[in-house]
Structure 1
Amino acid sequence: MKRFFLLVVLILVGCGPSLTQADLPPDRNEMGYKPERRKIIIYQMMTRLFANTNTNRIFYGSMEENGVSRFNDITDTALKALKDFGVDYIWYTGVIAHATMEDFTRYGIPMDDPDVVKGRAGSPYAIRDYYDVSPLLAHNVPKRLDEFRALVERTHRNGLKVIIDFVPNHVARGYKSLAKPKWVKDLGETDKTNVTFDPNNNFYYLPGTEFQVPKGYDPAGSNVKIAGEDGKFKEIPAKVTGNDVFSASPSLGDWFETVKLNYGVDIKGGRKTYFTPTPNTWGKMRDILLYWASFGVDGFRCDMAEMVPVEFWGWAIPQVKEKYPHVIFIAEIYNPSAYKKYLTQGKFDYLYDKVGLYDSVKPFMKKKPKYDRKGFYYAWLKVKDFSDHMLAFLENHDEERIASKGFAADPWMGVPGMTVVASVYAGPVMIYFGQEVGEPAAGKEGFGGDDGRTTIFDFWGVPEHQKWVNGGKFDGGLLSEDQKKLRAFYQKLLLLVKSHPALAEGRMYDLSFANEAVQKNEKIIPQSEGFSDGILAFARYTDGKIVLVVANFEREARQFFLKLPESLWQAAKLPPSGTYLARDLLGNLPDITFDAAKTTNRFQLKAGVPIQIGPVSAAIYEIQTKQ
């Protein structure tokens, strides 16, 4: 939902207060559980697209026309291949039942009104039934929950863990749970609809109004008319729209297909809170989390978590973890000033690092790059006290594909980019299906449009990824040699960053300021010969171990000397003297022998580790004592 969230522009000023170890949630020993003490790799798949072998790509095509991937299509073979690739968790996106234009009435599932559904398949973030899975994903629709449970068991059997979305801020306009336990009262079932706000209402209302579908909305494209499409949706009184729009007539740019959930915050009343007694919505949403954890789900990626009060998370997450200690919680969050609060008070394990790491690295990768090493450094500085709780990525369902024409237009730009984001922190790393083979997300799929993103709204075949799927063999048999090399790079990188102690657990030391030109006495003075704008360099270190990460985003090869300040040697508890060997752990570049004493001289141009690196490439050097 993030790319439609147009209400707030976030401006990050300063570093904010530092976190101490006592502030952070890693141990929580008083509750008797701990999260994983290792760097984890998360693989996000759009479940309905992942194993689809249908190569039709009909604009606004139906499920029958363009095909769909189902739970049973994600086989042991596919899961083993992902495990071998280095994956620890799979984020199955779009599992919980959401509004769709497909007809499942023969199974007792009412039709969703297409006038409040985005795309033929529908948005996975417009939940129709929190207690059910999408019938789109089942071969045997009446047994769809059994098929999902089998997928969870199959995933675990292959040594992998399961993450699903939890969408707490909003639901589909036509929300009605058919699968809920008998003792559960449905959302809105006991609401007072004659008031805008009541602490125990599940929704917000606009008394005396009727919801209006945005003018000009064409649910399935101008060439197709869907049953029930009439430009109307009966909702009296109108409910408040998911992105906090208090209007019965939301715009096309709003989340008009969703309604906002009420957690006891009087939004129109100065955001005054009513958290005592515990709001009705809190208990309902906690119970939904417990329900899915009982299926064996190992983690929740919490959609737009910051639109839900942090007090709810701090109340609900410990209750889930008390019963299921291993379950992790990931917050989709874009407000850096709230990071500390959502880790400490909200008890999240991990936070999205979009506003920061992603936004600082992406400009280096663009077709027309903008190199800003200080932006990268400050992005790290602002989270350095809790960087092991930051989730790094370059692609997900909200962001442009690296290979898309609007981003880098070159899948190989993922080599320097992914090397940086995967190795800069000890926190988790995420990769999006098809990223590893250079999927460009070209063409108009339907509601998704030609926006450089793989659609989450439509039925579609993902062409470059399908070459790896290879008719269900999941062996990359149809990939080009270039794609096989790209995928091999990603595999080596992911396996390396989670296994090497300095990369998985070490501390970060930025090397840019020790190597780039500085201003002195009104003159620009270079510190290292050849160190250019499009290079990012930093060290990760532990006691007795230094690893150098060097990424060249420029389209030309570079030769330069990389300074290693004396303070880095001291931090790593290594002597800044004697002969050392730098060995590229990615295996692309020859070993480098150097004299440590000659790496610390700040203004001697040819002092440092002599680096030669090709265009659009990266190296990860382990510093070893020369035998």
Structure 2
Amino acid sequence: MKQQDKPIIYQVIPRLFGNMNDRCVKNGSLAENGSGKFSSFTHTALKSIKELGVTHIWYTGIIEHATKTDYSAYNIRRDHTAIVKGKAGSPYAIKDYYDVDPDLADDVPNRMAEFEALIERTHKAGLKVIIDFVPNHVSRQYHSDAKESFIVDLGQTDNTSKAFSPGNNFYYLPGQTLQFHFGAKQEDFEYSEFPAKVTGNDCFTANPGMNDWYETIKLNYGVDYANGKVSYFNPIPDTWNKMLEILMFWAGKGIDGFRCDMAEMVPVEFWHWAITHVTNCYPVCFIAEVYNPSLYRIFLSKGKFDYLYDKVGLYDTLKAVIRKETSACSITKCWQAVEGFQDKMLAFMENHDEQRIASNFFAGNARSGIPAMMVLAFMHVNPVMIYFGQELGESGMDEEGFSGVDGRTSIFDYWSIKSVRNWVNNGRFDETGLTEKQCEIRNIYKKILRIARSEKAITSGLFYDLSYANTSNKCFNTGRQYAFMRKHDNEVLLVLANFDKSEQTVQVRIPEEAFAYLGINDNEAAGLTDLLSGETSISTLTHVCPFKVVIPAFSGKVLKFTYKSK
């Protein structure tokens, strides 16, 4: 990804995206509730997604994972129901690294070809493809049916009498049998695992709990956790070579990037080694899910990742601002905490792990998230991500089954999303099927994302935070408003975000230092364009007099000043 071509990522779960069943039942099977398909992403669908301003699609849940659906008729091993969450199963309980999810195929035996056709369609639409790489854990019954015969399967040659060995792919609990002490269902007693393997979330016990990743087992990258986390990286551990083969397999399909699940749970040394090998052969990007800020610089420099999740910093802060749990001026601390690599932080307000903005568990309405989206989209040159349905105000308040009513869109269940069905509108992908509110939210997102991509002041310009200059300003509430400037050549953007539920008339102070830093003349006349409304006029910026502007509720202003001289 070239930085001046600001990446805008659209995360989507294909299993849910194309499912048009409007009569889904709680805990429904595939036969009852149905599933979206690779073919659901038609040229029309992809065009509509791109029109938002999107550059990349992250197809979530592509690689085959454990499920309660029986595909044994297609020579795919059945999964024991005790170790599958939900009827559909978690996309992060990988069952076969060399295959795709059969749920997504119109013709199961032809499933890989259908995925390859999706890659081709996506590229023809002018979009790039990102898929998950899940490196830390796999399904408890991992077995590759699709791998080439010369490839040795994970765990196939493990010495299960050893808790740890650099040559093993998994960690073991010798002499112990896996036991589930929750649910007490007959199926729990029927599943047998001896010796027990260590559970995916570093749960080194034979009795994982309901809140553990009990359906997964942890991969061994040569770190002996039981003895002080001593590393055995020379010679290269067997797991490293196997995982590199898997990365090369998918990169060879023509994808453009990997979103690496729980990357911080895998040694950074592996990432340096693997990413170097892959990028020497294929032009792919790597995005890391990392939640520990102390590891950010390490995973960027040593790990060689292109981008990191900005969850613990910007996401958590913006959520707190929306919910009135912290002041808007706290946003300043977010960019300061990652100063020097802000451009490497992937910003978002929704993904498959988080609660929907419009849910009762977050803000209760989609409009509350608009000022946050403006901040994260315009503040720096970093990539931005939205989650399918977010642009429609999806609330995530369905009771799908395993997931329950939790404000999230389930990744475990077969389900269909009404707001997305409205947009799909029998394959038309237009606004005629949307409600007035859904149309309004989608059009706002379209404006924000298009501005983020098209304005050079945003994609490659300077940034100046105005919070400190307005802390004592009685006409600007730094608790509910946030302001900053961006500049490129002779263009200056003044961005104001209003997190308040009511319209606000503010007077924002712009200090002399801002003019000096941005290299613009104080009190020079400029053409003024409101990028959200399209209105134009002539105006000036000066440190002598605060700039007065009316900001709508749960919204903001993006004012573009164009000067005659550079």
SS of corresponding position for 1:177:
coil
Matched, 1:392 2:347: yes
**What is residue 390 of structure 2 aligned with on the other side?**
435
- Within a 5 Å distance, the mapping from 1:562-577 to structure 2 comes to 562-577=508-523
CA contact (8 A) 1:592 1:610 kept: no
Q: What TM-score, normalized by structure 2, do the two folds share?
A: 0.97
What is the CA RMSD across the aligned residues, in angstroms? 1.6
Moved more, 527-536 or 274-283: 527-536
**What is residue 524 of structure 2 aligned with on the other side?**
578
Q: What are the Cα deviations for residues 192-235 of structure 1, in whole angstroms up to 9, with x where unaligned?
A: 110110011100000001111342166xxxxxxxxx93533211
Query: Which of the residues 463, 482, 487 maps onto 1:541?
Result: 487
CA contact (8 A) 2:180 2:188 kept: no
SS of corresponding position for 2:468:
coil
Matched, 1:308 2:308: no
CA contact (8 A) 1:547 1:623 kept: yes
**What is residue 131 of structure 2 aligned with on the other side?**
164
**What is residue 211 of structure 2 aligned with on the other side?**
253
SS of corresponding position for 1:229:
helix
**What is residue 494 of structure 1 aligned with on the other side?**
449
Q: What are the Cα deviations for residues 380-439 of structure 1, in whole angstroms up to 9, with x where unaligned?
A: 101120111110100000011011011111111122111111111201110100000100
Q: What are the Cα deviations for residues 462-488 of structure 1, in whole angstroms up to 9, with x where unaligned?
A: 111110011222223310122112111
Q: Counterparts of 2:189 and 2:327 in 1: how far apart (Å)?
A: 48
SS of corresponding position for 2:187:
coil
Q: What are the Cα deviations for residues 246-296 of structure 1, in whole angstroms up to 9, with x where unaligned?
A: 111100010000000000000111001000000000010011000001111
SS of corresponding position for 2:145:
coil
Cα distance change of structure 1 residues 199 and 508 upon mapping to structure 2, 3 Å threshold:
same
Residue type of the alignment partner of 1:617: S
- Within a 5 Å distance, the mapping from 1:462-611 to structure 2 comes to 462-517=417-472, 527-587=473-533, 591=537, 593-594=539-540, 596-597=541-542, 600-601=543-544, 607-611=545-549
Query: Which of the residues 253, 256, 259 maps onto 1:298?
Result: 256
Residue type of the alignment partner of 1:561: Q
Q: What are the Cα deviations for residues 63-109 of structure 1, in whole angstroms up to 9, with x where unaligned?
A: 11111101112111111111222111100000000000001111111
Matched, 1:102 2:69: yes
Matched, 1:289 2:247: yes
Q: What are the Cα deviations for residues 22-62 of structure 1, in whole angstroms up to 9, with x where unaligned?
A: xxxxxxxxxxxx85542111000011001111112311011
Q: What are the Cα deviations for residues 551-572 of structure 1, in whole angstroms up to 9, with x where unaligned?
A: 1111111112111111111122
Residue type of the alignment partner of 1:51: G
CA contact (8 A) 1:528 1:563 kept: no
CA contact (8 A) 1:331 1:350 kept: yes
Moved more, 574-583 or 426-435: 574-583
SS of corresponding position for 1:277:
coil
Q: Counterparts of 1:541 and 1:588 in 2: how far apart (Å)?
A: 19
**What is residue 190 of structure 1 aligned with on the other side?**
157
CA contact (8 A) 2:317 2:326 kept: no
Moved more, 532-541 or 306-315: 532-541
Matched, 1:207 2:174: yes
CA contact (8 A) 1:242 1:256 kept: yes
**What is residue 306 of structure 2 aligned with on the other side?**
349
Residue type of the alignment partner of 2:290: I
CA contact (8 A) 2:14 2:59 kept: yes
Query: Which of the residues 450, 467, 489 maps onto 2:405?
Result: 450
Moved more, 583-592 or 370-379: 583-592
SS of corresponding position for 2:114:
helix
1:615 Cα shift? 1.2
1:543 Cα shift? 4.1
Q: What are the Cα deviations for residues 563-614 of structure 1, in whole angstroms up to 9, with x where unaligned?
A: 11111111221111333454211117675724x33xx24xxxxx31111112
Q: What TM-score, normalized by structure 1, do the two folds share?
A: 0.88
Q: Counterparts of 1:273 and 1:626 in 2: how far apart (Å)?
A: 60
Residue type of the alignment partner of 2:519: K
Where in structure 2 are there 5+ consecutive unaligned residues?
none
Where in structure 1 are there 5+ consecutive unaligned residues?
1-33, 219-227, 518-526, 602-606
Cα distance change of structure 1 residues 532 and 204 upon mapping to structure 2, 3 Å threshold:
closer
**What is residue 87 of structure 2 aligned with on the other side?**
120
**What is residue 229 of structure 1 aligned with on the other side?**
187
Moved more, 159-168 or 34-43: 34-43
CA contact (8 A) 1:99 1:112 kept: yes
Moved more, 289-298 or 408-417: 408-417
Query: Which of the residues 29, 39, 44 maps onto 2:11?
Result: 44
CA contact (8 A) 1:336 1:355 kept: yes
**What is residue 98 of structure 2 aligned with on the other side?**
131
Q: Counterparts of 1:609 and 1:575 in 2: how far apart (Å)?
A: 15
Q: Counterparts of 2:462 and 2:240 in 1: how far apart (Å)?
A: 38
Query: Which of the residues 377, 384, 403 maps onto 1:422?
Result: 377
CA contact (8 A) 1:115 1:217 kept: no
| Identity between Structure 1 and Structure 2 (%) | 49
Moved more, 554-563 or 125-134: 554-563
Q: Counterparts of 2:354 and 2:534 in 1: how far apart (Å)?
A: 29
Moved more, 116-125 or 152-161: 152-161
1:115 Cα shift? 0.2
Query: Which of the residues 302, 305, 318 maps onto 1:361?
Result: 318
**What is residue 29 of structure 1 aligned with on the other side?**
none
Q: Counterparts of 1:294 and 1:180 in 2: how far apart (Å)?
A: 14
Q: Counterparts of 1:322 and 1:561 in 2: how far apart (Å)?
A: 52
CA contact (8 A) 2:168 2:239 kept: yes
SS of corresponding position for 2:440:
helix
- Within a 5 Å distance, the mapping from 1:73-92 to structure 2 comes to 73-92=40-59
SS of corresponding position for 1:489:
helix
Q: Counterparts of 2:118 and 2:200 in 1: how far apart (Å)?
A: 31
Q: Aligned residue pairs: how many?
A: 565
Moved more, 480-489 or 250-259: 480-489
Q: Counterparts of 2:405 and 2:66 in 1: how far apart (Å)?
A: 22
Q: What are the Cα deviations for residues 152-197 of structure 1, in whole angstroms up to 9, with x where unaligned?
A: 1111111111100000000000100011112110001111110110
CA contact (8 A) 1:56 1:460 kept: no
Cα distance change of structure 1 residues 217 and 310 upon mapping to structure 2, 3 Å threshold:
farther
SS of corresponding position for 1:422:
helix
CA contact (8 A) 1:35 1:328 kept: no
CA contact (8 A) 1:35 1:349 kept: no
Residue type of the alignment partner of 1:381: Q
Q: What are the Cα deviations for residues 429-452 of structure 1, in whole angstroms up to 9, with x where unaligned?
A: 101000001000112111111110
Q: Counterparts of 2:454 and 2:526 in 1: how far apart (Å)?
A: 23
**What is residue 4 of structure 1 aligned with on the other side?**
none
Q: Counterparts of 1:499 and 1:582 in 2: how far apart (Å)?
A: 17
